[in-house]
Amino acid sequence: MDALAQLAPVAAPLLRDVDTALLTLGAPATHPVWRALGRVGATPADVVAFVADLEPARLRAAADALRAQAAAYEQASLPVDAPWEGETARHYRAAAEAVREHLAGDGPSLASRLRDQASYVESWAEWQQALRDGLARALAEAMTSSQAVTLRSQMTRPTEVDGLPAAVQAAADIAVHLLGVAEDAAAAGRDVIRAAQGLDELTYRENLPSDPLAGSGTIRVE
Amino acid sequence: MMLAGTVTAIHATADLLGDAERRLPAVDPGATAFGARGLGLLGEVGQEAYRHWQAAMNARVREARAHAARVRDLADLVDHAMGGFAEAQHSAERAQRDLATGDSGVA
């Protein structure tokens, strides 16, 4: 259980107060929370609930499965040496070498593509974990902030209107702090996707002798 | 490696690729795991990440299918050679029998 899994349930009442204050009381006109809400497109409580549900372990399991498949490709036995001689053998050797290289050779291969895809999904798992950790830190800061005290005091005494302006400001401050984590994470997430290039279908390069196959040959009995 | 061993190894590799083609789609952890069902900006980024994954996975499946076919072609090439070998062996055995019985086959 990571920090966010522990903090999210404890922070739920504060997040509910933040959302309620924003929805019912609004925020100061020039407060950056308006811009943050517009960009993130979700309230702080929604963001925390969404991120708390993310399970990077599921993505890591997918990465493990892809790497296991890559290892199976690498371990496949594809004999290149033909136990006979002649034109058919020459064609076989050329074709087998190309097929083996494409499967798991030193250059780009089906095995390396699987490993690259595993790295991509693992990067996405790391991104999710970084988002969870960043949000947990921001939540901890918000929960121990003076704004949290101000907001919660007002929400427990809703009839006392003197504290309303401070409560509105406090809710907006907490919201912008949490939404900022989501905005930064979104930018980092797009970087992860952009960095994961070279996952397209690998082109096969045939390597056959140019002369036609006549079918003659000598069998080498071993 | 003997011809039969070569054929067995080639067929095993073709089967491996055929299995990969069938089983790789099951590796997909799903849109929710990527965060593609979220609200707003984070949901959009999750959707982009998942689309990228899906395109890559479709490419892996196509690669496995196409390569399984190439490996089967290799097996055909060996079968072709084995056919020639069997024919040559029958001819040699027939010739030996003819020699043993004194029948040269020439009238």
Q: How is A95-123 classified by DSSP, letter by letter?
A: HHHHHHHHHH-SSS-HHHHHHHHHHHHHH
What confidence tier does B107 reach under pLDDT thresholds 50, 70, 90? very low
Give the separation between CA A29 and CA A220, rounded to whole angstroms: 88
What is the number of other CB atoms lying within 10 angstroms of the CB of residue A195? 10
Contact A186 B41 (CB under 8 A): yes
Instruction: Give A-chain residues touching B50 at CB under 8 angstroms.
Output: none
A11 pLDDT above the threshold of 60: yes
Query: What pLDDT is recorded for position B78?
Result: 84
Instruction: Give B-chain residues touching A131 at CB under 8 angstroms.
Output: 42
Give the separation between CA A54 and CA A47, rounded to whole angstroms: 11
| Cβ(B73)–Cβ(A102) below 8 Å | no
| Cβ(B98)–Cβ(B54) below 8 Å | no
Q: Is B79 on the interface with A (CB under 8 A)?
A: no
Query: What pLDDT is recorded for position A81?
Result: 84
Contact A120 B53 (CB under 8 A): yes
A190 to chain B, minimum CA–CA distance in Å?
7
| Cβ(A45)–Cβ(A19) below 8 Å | yes
Helix (H) or strand (E) holding A157, with range, is none
Query: What pLDDT is recorded for position A90?
Result: 87
Nearest partner of B24 among A125, A111, A75, A65, judged by Cα: A65
Q: What is the ipTM of this complex?
A: 0.89
Please, what sign has the CA dihedral across residues A100, A103, A104, A108? positive
Give chain A's end-to-end CA distance (angstroms, integer).
61
The number of C-beta contacts closer than 8 angstroms across A and B is: 170
Q: What would the two tokens of residue A19 be?
A: 């959302």
User: DSSP 3-state assignment of A24?
Assistant: helix
pTM for this predicted structure: 0.86
What is the number of other CB atoms lying within 10 angstroms of the CB of residue B71? 25
Nearest partner of A78 among B27, B51, B15, B65, judged by Cα: B15
Mean pLDDT to the nearest integer, B6-15: 91
Instruction: Give B-chain residues touching A128 at CB under 8 angstroms.
Output: 35
Instruction: Give A-chain residues touching B13 at CB under 8 angstroms.
Output: 76-78, 103
Best B11, B32, B63 member to test A by mutation, with max A CBs in 10 Å, is B63
Q: What would the two tokens of residue A161 be?
A: 């209107």
Q: What would the two tokens of residue A217 be?
A: 């040959």
Mean pLDDT to the nearest integer, A200-220: 69
Give the nearest partner residue to B29 out of A61, A73, A217, using CB atoms. Answer: A61
Using a 10 angstrom Cβ sphere, with 0-12 exposed, 13-18 middle and 19 or more buried, the burial of residue A182 is buried
pLDDT tens-digit profile of A127-174? Answer: 999 999 999 999 999 999 999 999 998 888 877 778 789 999 999 999
Which residues, numbered 59 to 78 in chain B, qualify as contacts with chain A under a Cβ-Cβ cut-off of 8 Å? Answer: 59-60, 62-64, 66-67, 70-71, 73-74, 77-78
Using a 10 angstrom Cβ sphere, with 0-12 exposed, 13-18 middle and 19 or more buried, the burial of residue A54 is buried
Query: What pLDDT is recorded for position B90?
Result: 64
B27 pLDDT above the threshold of 90: yes
Q: Which range is least confidently modeled, A13-27, A38-52, B45-59, B79-93? A: B79-93
Give the separation between CA B77 and CA A95, rounded to whole angstroms: 9
Instruction: Give B-chain residues touching A73 at CB under 8 angstroms.
Output: 16, 20
A162 to chain B, minimum CA–CA distance in Å?
35
Domain definitions of chain B by residue range: 3-101
- Count of positions (residues) in chain A: 222
Please, what sign has the CA dihedral across residues B93, B96, B97, B98? positive
Instruction: Give A-chain residues touching B28 at CB under 8 angstroms.
Output: 62
Contact B62 A120 (CB under 8 A): no
B74 pLDDT above the threshold of 80: yes
Using a 10 angstrom Cβ sphere, with 0-12 exposed, 13-18 middle and 19 or more buried, the burial of residue B76 is exposed
| Cβ(A36)–Cβ(A175) below 8 Å | yes
B93 pLDDT above the threshold of 70: no
Which residues, numbered 16 to 55 in chain B, qualify as contacts with chain A under a Cβ-Cβ cut-off of 8 Å? Answer: 16-17, 20, 23-24, 27-29, 33-35, 38-46, 48-49, 52-53, 55
Give the nearest partner residue to A114 out of B39, B60, B88, using CB atoms. Answer: B60
